[in-house]
Structure formats: structure tokens, C-alpha cells
Amino acid sequence: MKVRKLLVLSTVALLMALAIIPAAFAQSGTAKVRVLHASPDAPAVDVYVNGNRALSNVEFFTASDYLDLPAGTYQVQVTPAGQPASAAVIDASATIEAGKAYTIAATGQLASIAPTIIEDDLSAPAAGNAKVRVYHFSPDAPAVDVKVAGGDTLISNLAFPDASDYLEVPAGSYDLQVTPAGASAVVIDLPGTAVESGRIYSVFATNVVASITPEVAVTTPAAAPATGGPTTLPATAEGDTAPLGLLVLLALVLVGGALALRRRAAL
């Protein structure tokens, strides 16, 4: 209940901040953006959008739903949690393009934290099928393979911080395993993973290898991003394997630079 309340409050805060963006900054049309705080040892931060505090005390691991946002350029400032915008350790702009969908993640451990931007495909799978994509966001884990237990290798040699191609598979139940590339030791075991037709499944391998954890987001495709005006958000649901906490975190694309600058400034 607390997570859902925090989701609502954070979403409202960000929408209020984005609502005051001058029209001069906006392009025609919208983009779909979801953002993840996937840096396991990074401290909490506050995020300001165009001078307004949009998010407070954002911690690992939180991730957004896809949100329709006006395409254009946003001023984003990141501060240590509890500090005003004047204390920003980074002050920069972020641009999103109309008609595209993105996953934007703060990845890596604190000493080498960096933003990772991956373009997504929200087109619907063929009738009777589902789409599955794996994101390798475990910073000290080796490249991995994704397999059907006792069967075929579906994804080979996926390295941090990349994402696989989309797999389109018939709806059903699968026993999936993640192993180091070319090896047999299972680091993530996902038995009885059910996928429904018409859905897109995002599987995130997160945290350090000693406590690597899968997080699953399920998206129901809607209309693709448009260049002429707002579109309908895809509906999302918590995955059966590992619930994905939802927060709207657009500006975390810059958290890597913010925290790195903070560390250098302290030296």
C-alpha cells in the first residue's frame, strides 16, 4: 500500500512539474519514456525538472511505467537528497524525440555510475504470441545466456549494460534460466514463467552478482508514439516472478553524472 501511495504522489509531482514547461521547449508530438534507478549502491537523490522539485529521496531499485511526455528538451538538476536546486551537482538538459520509446537507466555501481539509454519497440506481437526482452543491469555480472531449462539457448552472450533483441514466443509457460555465457551454472532460475498473448515482458537482471535479482515489467501495447499529439499509455502490471515498483523518474538519466561529480567534488 505504501508503494502504491508513493507511486501516486510521485506521479502527480512529476506531472505538475512537466505541466509548467514553456511551449517553446516542446516539439510536436510525444515520446514514451520509462526510467530505472538500477545502481545498487548509489545513494538517494532529489530531482528537479525546470527548477521544480519533481521527486524526492529516490532510491534503488525503482522504475517507471511508460509515460507519454511532450517531445523536447528539459532542464534537469540532480541534488543530494534534501538539498535545494541551488545545490545541484549536475545541471543539464535532456532531449527526447517524438515518435520513439525509451528505457533510460542509471546503471553501474557508484564509482562508475552512468546513464544507459535503450530504444524500445512497443509494437504488438503477432496474434497468440508474446514479446520478451532481457536487460542486463547487474554491473559485476559476466555476460549471460538465457535458456529454456534443459533446452534451447534463447539469448546468447548478453553483456552489461545491454538489452537483448525482442523474442517473440507463443503464449504459454516456460522454465527459464540465466547462466554465465557458455556455462551451465544457473544464476537466475525462473521456473513456470507464464507469458500471455499480446503482452511485452521486460526482464531486468539487477543488483550485484552475489545477490542478483530479476525484476519483471509487463506492458500491454497501445498505439505507437505519435508525431501529431498525445497517445494512450500502455497499461502495465506487476510481473508474477518479481514485482516491479513503479515511480515516474524521467530525470534519472542524469543521476550517473550527478553522483560521479559529487564524488569528485568531495576529493
Q: Over the stretch 195-227, which tens digit does the pLDDT of each residue have?
A: 999 999 999 999 999 999 898 999 998 644 433
CATH code at 124-221: 2.60.40
Per-residue pLDDT tens for 18-45? Answer: 433 333 334 558 888 787 788 898 787 7
* pLDDT over threshold 90, residue 178: yes
Q: Is pTM beyond 0.75 here?
A: no
The mean pLDDT of the chain is: 73
* pLDDT over threshold 50, residue 11: no
DSSP state of 209: G
Enumerate residues 6+ apart whose C-beta is below 8 A from 137.
Answer: 36, 38, 105, 107, 116, 160, 161, 204, 205, 206
- Is the separation of the CB atoms in 236 and 220 below 8 Å? yes
Half-sphere exposure of 97 (CA within 13 A, CB side): 7
Mean pLDDT of 108-120: 82
Q: For the chain, what are the domain ranges?
A: 1-122+222-267, 124-221
| 115 backbone dihedrals φ, ψ, rounded to 5° | -80, 140
Counting residues of the chain whose pLDDT is more than 90, the rounded percentage is 34
